[in-house]
Structure 1
Amino acid sequence: MSRKRTMSLKKKLVLTGATGALVTGAVVTTMATGNAAAPDVVCKGSTVTLSGEGGAPAASSGTFPVGTKLKVTNLDNGQSTTVAVNGPSGSCVLLNNAAFDKVREPGKNLIRRARIERVGGGAAPAGATGAAGAPGAAGVQVPPATGEVVCKGSTVTLSGEGGAPAASSGTFPVGTKLKVTNLDNGQSTTVAVNGPSGSCVLLNNSAFDKVREPGKNLIRRARIERVG
């Protein structure tokens, strides 16, 4: 190719800094500029449950500090909600009633296929908080632990699933026996893990009924023991 021809091609090749478009003669090709930020997807594989708490839509978290904004999408129905963290829990994100209603499927208290995105605030993850090893509430007698205390600081919620008392877990394999004690009322139940979840232990409805306080779908002060 002649020198004159080469120079002619160079003149027709223009990269516009404003649009990131490559103009080659009459053909315009859009090029990625790298400015578009990818979503900050966090806590991959986590399930999302509800806390049973009232108030305006909000979330609690054991991973992100108060003020962090999280977008939760239920991949089974495409519904999303964006909420701010207003307190600690033992889950990546735990939605209160008003927030969960925005993404729930009818009759379900668990989102098994969730996408969680950090969309504002809370740049630094916080450590999990809780009082799993604390004594019972005033006036409540809690027997000492007899098994291996695990997942300290975890809250316990219910999955909304039926059947005989059982649990799911993202920490222990199927067949593991876990004893869950509600330190606020002294009630305990021992169940076997029958499947996976994104929590240390997630109780189904009949198991949760054995340890729940009236009207609550969350045990904030739980002791979890591996007993078999």
Structure 2
Amino acid sequence: MTRTYRRPGQDKRKRNIVIGVAVAALVGGGLAVGTGLSSASTFCDGLDERIRENQQFMAQQRANPNSQTEAILANRQAVIDLINVQKAQGGCGGAQAQAPAAKPTTTAPAAKPTTAAPAAKPTTAAPAAPAAPAAPAGNGQVVCPGSTVTLSGEGGAPAASSGTHPVGTVLRVRNLDNNKSITVTVTSVSGSCVLLNNAAFEEVREPGKFLIRRAVIERVG
């Protein structure tokens, strides 16, 4: 019978090698999980920051209301709703909604009975007049006259979302305050005539502004 003799310490070295490989695998797995969690957290934090920016903008509009405040607030709330959809799809947890308590202050339903006299109607129709001078921006059909334009918060190449025009519609948006324009395709649905995504809005915005008050929107193609 032949016996195999092992040198002292040989088994111990093998055990150390096996343990070292197992520890390396555990550390590598931990780093992969940690990196994934960090990326997800950064994505969700960015969406939360965009919601806070829109809410701050809405608060400023409520503090300084004008004839277009109601439309502006509706547009910004649609932006927040879209970002909350992105949060839900990305597994970011609870949605942040705009507090509705401030809206009654802008609608002021109690004031209508006191201004029910026919003489009050011309004063309410006046805001429609500034929106009428929609200077022709091209050869397209002007749509949604008087609508303000803001951003949807969506990333990617320049595009638009709309609750009036179906996906695939080509729209041209011109900012009359700086005469900049952009032609985009509707790729998603929103609650406004047109919302520009981040890339498209950057092409026509004025520095520091998140709203185009005087815009011409055309359907082209």
Query: What TM-score does the superposition give when structure 1 sets the normalisation length?
Result: 0.50
User: Are positions 1:94 and 2:73 aligned together?
Assistant: yes
- For 1:193 and 1:144, locate their aligned partners in 2 and report how far apart those are by CA, in whole Å: 19
Q: CA deviation at 1:202?
A: 0.2
Matched with 1:41 is none
Q: How many residues align?
A: 138
Q: Aligned to 2:206, which of 199, 202, 213?
A: 213
Taking the TM superposition and a 5 Å limit, the aligned residue runs for 1:8-27 are none
Q: CA deviation at 1:146?
A: 1.1
Taking the TM superposition and a 5 Å limit, the aligned residue runs for 1:128-207 are 129=128, 131-134=130-133, 144-207=137-200
- Give the CA RMSD over aligned residues: 3.6
Matched residue of 1:208: which SS?
A: helix
- For 2:171 and 2:104, locate their aligned partners in 1 and report how far apart those are by CA, in whole Å: 35
User: Are positions 1:226 and 2:219 aligned together?
Assistant: yes
- For 1:174 and 1:165, locate their aligned partners in 2 and report how far apart those are by CA, in whole Å: 14
- For 2:181 and 2:56, locate their aligned partners in 1 and report how far apart those are by CA, in whole Å: 20
2:108 partner letter = G
Query: What TM-score does the superposition give when structure 2 sets the normalisation length?
Result: 0.51
Taking the TM superposition and a 5 Å limit, the aligned residue runs for 1:13-92 are 50=54, 57-59=59-61, 83=62, 86-89=65-68, 92=71
Percent of aligned pairs with the same residue?
Answer: 50
Matched with 2:80 is 110
Q: CA deviation at 1:176?
A: 0.4
Aligned partners of 1:170 and 1:200 also within 8 Å: yes
Matched residue of 2:188: which SS?
A: coil
Matched residue of 2:104: which SS?
A: strand
- For 1:135 and 1:224, locate their aligned partners in 2 and report how far apart those are by CA, in whole Å: 9
- For 1:203 and 1:212, locate their aligned partners in 2 and report how far apart those are by CA, in whole Å: 10
Q: Aligned to 1:119, which of 104, 113, 119?
A: 104
CA distance change for structure 1 residues 130 and 216 in 2, over 3 Å: closer, same or farther? farther
- For 1:167 and 1:90, locate their aligned partners in 2 and report how far apart those are by CA, in whole Å: 22
Deviations 1:77-110 (A, max 9, x none): xxxxxx4671133863428xxxx8xxx9xxxx63
CA distance change for structure 1 residues 161 and 187 in 2, over 3 Å: closer, same or farther? same
CA distance change for structure 1 residues 159 and 182 in 2, over 3 Å: closer, same or farther? same
For structure 2, the 5+ residue unaligned runs are: 1-52, 85-96, 113-123
Q: CA deviation at 1:185?
A: 0.8
- For 1:151 and 1:160, locate their aligned partners in 2 and report how far apart those are by CA, in whole Å: 21
Q: Higher strand share goes to which structure?
A: 1
Q: Higher helix share goes to which structure?
A: 2
Matched with 1:16 is none
- For 1:211 and 1:203, locate their aligned partners in 2 and report how far apart those are by CA, in whole Å: 10
Q: CA deviation at 1:208?
A: 0.7
Q: CA deviation at 1:52?
A: 8.4
- For 2:194 and 2:69, locate their aligned partners in 1 and report how far apart those are by CA, in whole Å: 10
